């Protein structure tokens, strides 16, 4: 039984009472050719700007770019595994796509607690994805977070 409690404890994220405004966490991932191809297959988004270099070189991006929602998925990784972590429920997300992500770019997704609505067990988080000093995506997430009470 102690093993079960230990595993459960390792899978639990932060409780609402553990959070404070300003807390932050991040996740970084280098985008690969495989990531883009697999995402296209899973999502059904086979837009040639993501998959066809010849087509994409004639666009404003002058080459292939990663799916915006693939990049946004890295925010989900932060929220679901780090802060608040396992147990939280994603309720909404606003997104503003600011710059393209290309194969080989390392994207860092960062989430920061900006507001805690204790009576509703909700947390508002600022979400930003960047490659180096370039912000590629920004937005705001609303989450339901478990309470100890």
> For the chain, which domains are there?
2-31+67-144 (3.10.129.10)
- List, as one string, the DSSP characters of 33-44: HHHHHHHHHHH-
Counted residue by residue, the chain has a size of 149
What are 83-141's pLDDT values in tens digits?
999 999 999 999 999 999 999 999 999 999 999 999 999 999 999 999 999 999 999 99
What integer is the mean pLDDT of 43-59?
98
């Amino acid at each position: 039984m102690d093993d079960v409690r230990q595993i459960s404890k390792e899978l639990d994220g932060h409780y609402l009472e553990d959070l404070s405004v300003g807390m932050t966490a991040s996740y970084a991932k280098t985008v690969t050719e495989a990531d883009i191809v697999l995402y296209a297959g899973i999502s059904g988004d086979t837009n040639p700007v993501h998959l066809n270099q010849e087509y994409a070189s004639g666009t404003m991006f002058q080459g292939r770019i990663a799916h915006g929602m693939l990049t946004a998925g890295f925010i989900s990784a932060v929220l679901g595994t780090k802060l608040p972590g396992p147990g939280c429920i994603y309720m909404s997300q606003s997104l503003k796509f600011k710059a393209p992500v290309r194969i080989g770019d390392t994207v860092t997704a960062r989430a920061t607690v900006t507001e805690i609505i204790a009576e509703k067990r909700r947390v508002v988080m600022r979400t930003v994805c960047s490659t180096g000093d370039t912000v590629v995506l920004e937005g705001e997430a609303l989450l339901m977070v478990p309470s100890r009470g």
